[in-house]
Chain A
Amino acid sequence: MASVRLERIAKRFDAGGTPAVDGVSLEIADGEFTVIVGPSGCGKTTVLRMIAGLEGPTAGRIFIDGTDVTDLPPRERDIAMVFQNYALYPHLSVRENIGFGLRMRRVDPVDIARRVDRIAESLEIGVLLDRRPAQLSGGQRQRVALARAIVREPAVFLFDEPLSNLDAQVRAQTRGELVRLHRRLGTTMIYVTHDQVEAMTMAQRVAVMHKGRVEQFAPPLDVYRAPSTLFVASFLGSPTINRFAGRVLPDGTSQRFDGGVRLRVEAPLAEVATLAVRPEHLNLVAPTEGSAGEVTLVEPLGPETILHVRLTGGEQATLRLGAGTTPAVGDTVGVSVRATEALVYDARGRLMGRGVA
């Protein structure tokens, strides 16, 4: 049981090059399930490896449960890690793999056997104990890797994209199991992934990373509803959020956004601004009522339909429609924005205001 605190940690792999991690500060509460999400190369795995002690930070401090562990070797940090490819020892049986950490810490063999059996039982891999990793399926290996981490009862669990090597069905199932496991153990978990679904469904708080920095650290729905940067807005959500270039002009006593779409907003005046609207917050209306456009693509997904529209100004808009009658390709339609859900970003991509009704 422990909190994890990162104080402006940075990592540069070659002197003078671009930093892989550039001053990341996070405060993760005891027992929290945190997901670090970001595109590949954003430095999320490096952050995890620095917490584990596999890499030393170039600058900054790392605290686990209030203790500065920056200079401690991995074995003294009381952490366990599940690797992307599980890193099971190929020459040891499942039983030996799970018990390896305990054996290295000179736990009594009888005690090891008891604990391994108990963990294997709870993860339903009891029958696999005498097999070699090569004889297991991807999902089974994943469980063994998990068991190896759990059996040591560490203060912090680290997961490095543990589900990315599984097929979609097993992945969805394992996601739920991991969340239940966290609820049962109540241990601090830090989970790295590039999969936004994993980030949204599993995390209590999500840290979105981009180019070595944390762009936003908040509960998943907050991140979804109010992305603090344009990058976060674009990275989370599928189909991608709609972006309209334009500017913020004075409009009587308030302001309005002027571009591919127009609406009243509450934001400082700006010559360059971006309006971002989720596809589900665009409504289909009569061509005369909203911005007119031509349907270029219709993607029926069953419960919903994704509609691609090219507005008369030339900008693209994506709409998420409920089941029902939908226009056909080539139809002229009108698009209106649900104003209160529209977000206004400044030229540097930072959230600066919202639409008003």
Chain B
Amino acid sequence: MTHAQSLARRWAIAACMVWGVATAVAVNRPLERVEYALAAHEARAVARAMVDSSGRRPSPIRRLVAEGSLTRAGVELSRYLGRAVRGLEESDRVVVHRSWLKRAVSVPLKDRDEWEIVGVVALQAEPWRDLPVTLLAIAFAVLVAATLASRGVDRLAEDPAIALYSVLVGPVATLAVVMAALTALVRQRVEAAAASLPPPSALSRFDGLTLPLPSATLSALTLALIFAATAAALVVAGWAASARRHAAERRETLTAWAFLAPSALHLLVFTAGPLAFTLFISFHDWDLLRLDRPFVGFGNYAELVADPLFWRAVGNTAVYALYVPVSMGLALGAALILNQPLRGMHALRAIVFLPTVVSYVAIAIVWQWMFNADFGLLNVLLRAVHLPGVDWLGNPKTALVALMIVSAWVQLGYQMVIYLAGLQGIPAHLIEAATLDGASPWARLRHITLPLLRPVTTYLFVTGIIWSFQVFTLVYVMTEGGPVHATDVLVYRIYQNAWEFRRMGYASAMSWILFAILLALTLLQWRALNRTVDDAA
């Protein structure tokens, strides 16, 4: 090993140690902040319970706490309490204690009539209480980082760019390890704080007061997010530094990300975020109008399995999905007819496609009238040929079929357009070759056109099934799941549980089951499509 190299190695190890200490400090600060936020959260909840238990009166204190100004909230609250209750002790007021190492808040508790102070809730944060464990974690992380860094130095001669990268990855790994350890630590601490709250039985006389437990998971999650963001930033910085020698490459990557950023951000915020949040909710008994949302683990999922209405909805959805192959068959027929180079075909295509661009609500209302038992067009036609009318939407036996008819009618145009595109994508010389090979029109359809349309058919079938599993508008407008749950489909069941029965957790669990089903279908589609593409290539 050269002198320069061992020098570099020593520098790298020193840098790692500095980095470790910096990490320890950085970790402690978010810890404080989290504990502080936790206390604020607590104070907010208590204040709300005290001042606004009826849910009608807006409270200035609640606003102040929500704004994060705990001190002013404390002052305000104590003034309010002071006015409301004579002879209040100083210690009964909301007080925020601060010192260099400690943060604490104490909030008085009132009874149901908001007349009497019956107790005080206090929460304390002591970030350095677990100092030995914290130090141990950091020491371990520094060791790992230093090892990685010195290995990086060893490779400096071989490939400077990559070596620099591993020197930087070391500290990032440190951070990750410390993050994991301390997240667990914070969680444990928060749970301890929660346990120190007065037990519910102590409040039995004042049952208007419900105190939500502090959410340990949420605090840990916040902390984890902070560290994940930091780690990601460091990795990006490390990448930027290591790729210095390949400026063009780095510029290319940057450009690529600049183009990706809008949709990536959108995906993260509006798809991945809600998805994760739904999973989180599904493990809780989550009522939008209640403050305590206890963690129930897999309770919601267990309930689902035993819920006959859920299974009914699954069954209905599956039966409903059967309209897809029917409308596909009709769409293929229409596409084959409308693919002929005749006059007026363009106008006809547009007309068949029209339902696809109309709002589902409008379609639902129009079809509701078409299905009307007394005046509906369908029954008028049936009676005209001396057949008995059918109470389409009122009869449990026909309601789902009626919905399937509407869906097939709507989807027909879209599927036809896709089939038309598929038909026009078939090279004319293949059909000509088959003609010269002596194939009749029917044989050309069966042996050439249909096999070559297989990717289109697979695509339409799988996306159609996926869409059919998401049906909601038609059910919501036309039948509301009835009669007697005959048209109760999965998404409608989810909607009802979430917004009518206020069972967000249960609805979220159902959403995840639906998501799992759709994911499985999508994966099947991928495999099927890849196979057909291989065939066609």
| Chain A residues within CB distance 8 Å of chain B | 52-54, 73-75, 79-81, 83, 85, 87, 89-92, 100-101, 104-105, 132, 134, 148, 152
Most buried by B among A53, A73, A79, A81: A81
Chain A residues in 8 Å Cβ range of B427: 85, 87
Is B452 in contact with A91, judged by CB distance below 8 angstroms?
Answer: yes
Closest to B439 in A: A104
- Shortest beta-carbon distance, A176 to chain B, in Å? 25
A-B contacts, 11 of them at CB < 8 A, read A52-B436, A75-B436, A83-B432, A87-B429, A87-B433, A89-B434, A90-B452, A100-B447, A104-B434, A104-B447, A105-B438
Residues of chain B within 8 A of A134, CB atoms compared: 536-537
Cα–Cα distance between A105 and B434 once the two chains are bound (Å):
12
Contact between chains at B537 and A83 (CB < 8 Å): no
Q: A149 to chain B: closest CB distance in Å?
A: 9
Chain B contacts for A89, CB-based, 8 A: 430, 433-434, 447-448
B535 at the interface (CB under 8 A from A): yes
CB <8 Å contact, A83 and B438: no
Pick the 5 closest A-B CB pairs, nearest first: A101-B437, A87-B433, A75-B438, A87-B429, A104-B438
B438 cross-chain contacts in A, Cβ below 8 A? 74-75, 101, 104-105
- CB of B436 within 8 A of CB of A100, answer no
Q: A87-B432, A134-B536 are in contact. List 7 more A-B contacts (CB 8 A).
A: A53-B435, A75-B435, A81-B436, A83-B432, A89-B430, A91-B535, A100-B439
A79 to B537 alpha-carbon distance, docked (Å):
29
Docked-complex contact A79 and B436, CB < 8 angstroms = yes
Contact code string B119-140 (vs A, CB < 8 Å = 1, else 0): 0000000000000000000000
- Report the minimal beta-carbon distance from B524 to chain A, rounded to whole angstroms: 21
Contact A74 B435 (CB under 8 A): yes
**In the complex, are the beta carbons of B537 and A104 less than 8 A apart?**
no
Give Cα A348 to B451, complex, Å: 54
Tell me the smallest distance from the CB of A51 to a CB of chain B, in Å: 11
Residues of A within 8 A of B448 (CB): 89
Asked whether B14 is an interface residue with its Cβ less than 8 Å from the other chain, the reply is: no
Residue of A73, A89, A105, A132 ringed by the most chain B CB atoms within 10 A = A89
Residues in B with CB closer than 8 Å to A75 are 435-440
Measured CB to CB, the nearest residue on chain A to B537 is A134
User: Contacts of B436 on A, CB cut-off 8 Å?
Assistant: 52-54, 74-75, 79-81, 101
Q: Which residues of B contact A152 (CB under 8 A)?
A: 437
Contact of A83 with B429 at beta-carbon distance under 8 Å, contacts A90-B537, A91-B452 already known:
yes
Check B26 for interface membership: any CB of A closer than 8 A.
no
Contact between chains at B437 and A100 (CB < 8 Å): yes
Chain A residues whose CB sits within 8 angstroms of the CB of B454 once the complex forms: 91
Docked complex Cα distance between A5 and B426 (Å) = 33
* Total B residues in contact with A, Cβ cutoff 8 Å: 21
Chain B at the A interface: SS class = helix
In the complex, the answer to whether A81 meets B536 with C-beta atoms within 8 Å is no
The chain A residue sitting closest to B451, CB to CB, is: A91
Partner of B535, one of A53, A73, A90: A90
Known: A89-B430, A90-B452, A91-B451. A54 touches B435 (CB 8 A): yes
The answer to whether A81 touches B433, judged by C-beta atoms less than 8 angstroms apart, is yes
Residues of A within 8 A of B439 (CB): 75, 100, 104
CA distance A104 to B430 in the complex (A): 15
How many Å lie between the Cα of A37 and that of B454 in the bound state? 39
Q: Smallest distance from the beta carbon of A165 to chain B beta carbons, Å?
A: 12
Residues of B within 8 A of A74 (CB): 435-436, 438
Given A100-B437, A104-B437, verify A90-B432 contact (CB < 8 Å): no
Given contacts A52-B436, A75-B436, contact A85 B429 (CB under 8 A): yes
Within 8 A of A (CB), among B500-537: 535-537
Q: B443: CB under 8 A from chain A?
A: yes
Q: CB distance A83 to B535 under 8 Å?
A: no
- Chain B 432-464, CB within 8 Å of chain A: the 1/0 string? 111111111001000110011010000000000
Docked complex Cα distance between A148 and B448 (Å):
16
- B427, B437, B451: residue with the most chain A Cβ atoms closer than 10 Å: B437
Among B427, B432, B434, B438, which residue has the most Cβ atoms of chain A within 10 A?
B438
Complex contact B536–A54 (CB within 8 A): no
Asked if residues A132 and B535 are in contact (CB atoms below 8 Å), the reply is yes
Query: Please, what's the 1-or-0 string for B312-350, where 1 marks a CB less than 8 Å from any CB in chain A?
Result: 000000000000000000000000000000000000000
Please report the C-alpha to C-alpha distance between residue A91 and residue B439 in the assembled complex, in whole angstroms: 16
Give residues of chain B (404-448) contacting chain A, Cβ–Cβ below 8 Å.
Answer: 427, 429-430, 432-440, 443, 447-448
Q: With A75-B438, A90-B535 known to touch, is A54 a contact of B432 (CB < 8 Å)?
A: yes
CB distance from B536 to the nearest CB of A (A): 5
Assess A87 versus B430: contact at CB under 8 Å? Given A100-B447, A132-B535, A134-B537.
Answer: yes
A90 to B448, CA, bound (A): 9
Assembled-state Cα–Cα distance A92/B451 (Å) = 9
In Å, the complex CA distance between A92 and B433 comes to: 13
B-side contacts of A90, CB under 8 Å: 430, 452, 535-537
Complex CA–CA separation, A81 to B536 (angstroms): 23
Task: Tell me the minimal C-beta distance from B202 to chain A in angstroms.
Answer: 76
Tell me if B434 and A91 are in contact (CB < 8 A): no
**Whose C-beta in chain B lies nearest to the C-beta of A76?**
B438
CA distance A134 to B533 in the complex (A): 11
Bound state CA distance, A75 and B537, in angstroms? 28
Partner of A104, one of B432, B443, B452: B443
